[in-house]
Amino acid sequence: QVQLQESGPGLVRPSETLTLTCTVSGDIISYYLSWVRQSAGRGLEWIGRIHTTGGVHSNPSLTSRVWMSVDTSKNQFSLRLTSVTDADTAVYYCARDSQGFDYWGQGALVTVSS
Amino acid sequence: DIQLTQSPSFLSASIGDRVTITCRASQGISTYLAWYQQNPGKAPKLLIYGASTLQRGVPSRFSGSGSGTQFTLTISSLQPEDFATYYCQQLNSYPITFGHGTRLDIK
């Protein structure tokens, strides 16, 4: 059984960097891991994906601010989003990325506020 | 970016009804389309991938069809647990995009 769990600060100040970790148990080696966020105003928005071999693709709307990494020894994936604003307030999910996103974390609410 | 337009945005139906949700892509995406169900406060759940392949464990009352730019999700006989929001997603090209959702309420 595959399980994913997001962790990180729930509150980030404007202009600072949002950092989240996705810890995976189960089979992730052959798959991409995608990050998705959801807010009332923007619906579901794909942030990007990273493979355990290091291949990365990100949403062009966020590329300049997004950085993704993987630590295979810990089965952990990280997301960093720099220079955050109110518009980055959302629930952030990580998901195993196959022919669809078949396993998801429970989501982490991140609020951008001073 | 490929835009996905779902219709309707809201749908009221009764237990036992057959319902169909449509997803139209702004350009052809072959069959690189998935459908998700989401309940409040929960992560989306994959129902169908490849436009018509049922994800393991998903009841057979769910079905998907289509290719190119027109896709449908059909629920053959609504059950109480089916009242939720449904999203389509295209995985044909970057960036991966989602539709804006169809909220299915009980009548």
How far A66 CA lies from chain B's nearest CA (Å)? 14
Q: Token pair of A45, please?
A: 């928005």
- Chain B positions touching chain A (beta carbons under 8 Å): 34, 36, 42-46, 48-50, 53, 55, 87, 89, 91, 94-98, 100-101
Contact between A20 and A78 (Cβ < 8 Å): yes
pLDDT at position B12:
97
Mention every residue, 6+ apart, whose C-beta is less than 8 A from residue A53.
none
Task: Kindly indicate the confidence band of residue A19, based on its pLDDT and cuts at 50, 70 and 90.
Answer: very high
pLDDT at position A66:
98
Subunit contact A44:B87, Cβ cutoff 8 A: yes
**Among A46, A95, A101, whose Cβ lies nearest the Cβ of B95?**
A46
List residues bridging with A38 in a β-sheet. Answer: A44, A91
pLDDT at position A15:
97
Each residue's pLDDT tens digit, A57-73: 999 999 999 999 999 88
**Among A43, A61, A107, whose Cβ lies nearest the Cβ of B100?**
A43
User: Looking at residues A27-39, what average pLDDT do you find?
Assistant: 93
| CA A18 to each of CA A21, A39, A108: distance values in angstroms, whole numbers, following the listed order | 10, 16, 12
Each residue's pLDDT tens digit, B61-82: 999 999 999 999 999 999 999 9
How is B86-104 classified by DSSP, letter by letter? Answer: EEEEE-SSSSPEE---EEE
Which residue is closest to B32 within chain A, CA to CA? A99
pLDDT at position A42:
80
Specify the amino acid at residue A43.
G
Q: Which residues of B touch A32 (CB under 8 A)?
A: none
Asked if pLDDT for residue B25 goes beyond 90, the answer is yes
pLDDT at position B68:
98
Specify the amino acid at residue B65.
S
Q: Which residues of B touch A98 (CB under 8 A)?
A: 49
pLDDT at position A27:
87
**Among A58, A100, A105, whose Cβ lies nearest the Cβ of B34?**
A100
User: Looking at residues A2-6, what average pLDDT do you find?
Assistant: 96
Q: For chain B, what percent of residues have pLDDT higher than 90?
A: 99
